[in-house]
Amino acid sequence: MFKLKVLCKEETEKALKMSDVIHSIEEVYKQKALGDTEVFPLIFHEFTSGVADMDIKSGWLKGSGLFGLKLVSWFGENVNKQLPALIGTVLVFDDKTGVPIGILDGSYITGIRTGAAGALGAKYLARPDSETLLIVGAGHVAVFQVAATLTLFPNIEEVMVYDPMDYRSAESFVKRIRATLDQNFHMQVKETTKFTAVKDIKNATENCDIIITVTPARAPIIMAEWVKAGTHFSCIGADMSGKEEIDPEIFRGARIFVDDINQCINIGEIEIPIKKNMITKEDIAGEIGEIIVGRVKGREYDEQITVFDATGTALLDLMTAKLAFDEAEKLNLGTSVNL
């Protein structure tokens, strides 16, 4: 009989501090660069085309002694049933014994680790004196991007938010953001930091140091000719073939990093520029973990355009879940059940 730790969404939220999650995700990228991780093949099944599917992502983090999986169900009609359309379940095992450690709801984990990923792209590639942040897409993941980036760049003076679908989403997002950062992330943002909903994406791009894109777009939102020298992009939204958020021209001459080279070529933001022969695989400077371990240089000069293409793997979820179990233990959160 084993003791299985169970955390519900609220407990997972309480257990995770953004600064710890960022540190954990950095550790995953590092382990990947050192060859200490394995991602297992993806299982995908569509129950009804365009209506309901599920996937199982799994992998092994040798350096952290754990393996496991995240099963994500997407059931579009759940919105009519007072249920979330996207449901994630993460199950973590000990790699010394094969014993299950714990299970938790994967939705919060997915959001917070994705925020950490976007911000880490900025940490390793943006100019350290960056003062302006533009978030493109005011959906579910946006708040995590803001929280993570402000954690690493507390001196950001202005956070602009643009929503390509509906300006009002951006407006209501910036109205709530201070309270959300305070309540959900215990972050007291400087009084002087401005949060602005923007209507003019061209103008916002022209005046921005760090741009993080988190939309499900299938056509570029940001055009190359608007981008000022020295801008950094963390492209988060593109996670399946056909998705793209920024003009493929931006990649010409940019210093490009990815989280996983093969996955990004297949489903990331670099998929389309490579398919259009605007860049080749050789134009990818490396994986972000290679900067972290000191193998490859990140930004080379201030005026350089940099891009981090992040598609995400189960490893991020497993590491964040393990962190949640460990912190929950300290805080006496969650339920231990016999399995």
Q: Which residues bind its own copies (CB under 8 A)?
A: 1-2, 4, 6-10, 38, 40-41, 43, 45, 47, 52, 54, 56, 58, 60, 67, 69, 71, 73-75, 78, 81, 83, 87, 89, 91, 93, 95-100, 103-105, 335, 337-339
List all residues 6 or more positions away from 33 whose beta carbon is below 8 Å from its beta carbon.
Answer: 287, 289, 290, 292, 293, 295
Contact 205, 211 (CB under 8 A): yes
**Measured from the CB atom, is 45 or 330 closer to its own copies?**
45
Alpha-carbon distance of 144 to 115, in angstroms, equals: 5
Q: State the nearest-atom distance from the C-beta of 69 to its own copies, in Å.
A: 6
Q: State the nearest-atom distance from the C-beta of 126 to its own copies, in Å.
A: 36
**Other C-beta atoms lying within 10 Å of the C-beta of residue 9:** 15
Contact 64, 38 (CB under 8 A): no
**Measured from the CB atom, is 44 or 176 closer to its own copies?**
44
Helices 142-152 and 18-33 meet at what angle, rounded to 10? 90
Strands 43-48 and 52-61: antiparallel
**Measured from the CB atom, is 100 or 286 closer to its own copies?**
100
User: Residue 67 is which amino acid?
Assistant: F
Distances in Å between the Cα of 336 and the Cα atoms of 3, 14, 156, 320, 339 are 6, 17, 41, 19, 9
Contact 207, 130 (CB under 8 A): no
17 classed as catalytic: no
**Measured from the CB atom, is 85 or 219 closer to its own copies?**
85
**Measured from the CB atom, is 50 or 294 closer to its own copies?**
50
**What is the SS3 assignment for 280?**
coil
**What is the SS3 assignment for 128?**
coil
Active-site residue identified among 5, 32, 57, 70 = 70
Q: State the nearest-atom distance from the C-beta of 303 to its own copies, in Å.
A: 45
Q: What is the DSSP string of 84-107?
A: -SEEEEEEEEETTT--EEEEEEHH
**Measured from the CB atom, is 1 or 229 closer to its own copies?**
1
Alpha helices in 201-252 (DSSP H): 201-206
Q: State the nearest-atom distance from the C-beta of 71 to its own copies, in Å.
A: 7
Q: State the nearest-atom distance from the C-beta of 329 to its own copies, in Å.
A: 16
**Measured from the CB atom, is 5 or 299 closer to its own copies?**
5
3-state helix, strand, coil in the chain (%, to 5): 40, 30, 35
**Other C-beta atoms lying within 10 Å of the C-beta of residue 77:** 11
**What is the SS3 assignment for 54?**
strand
Active site residues: 70
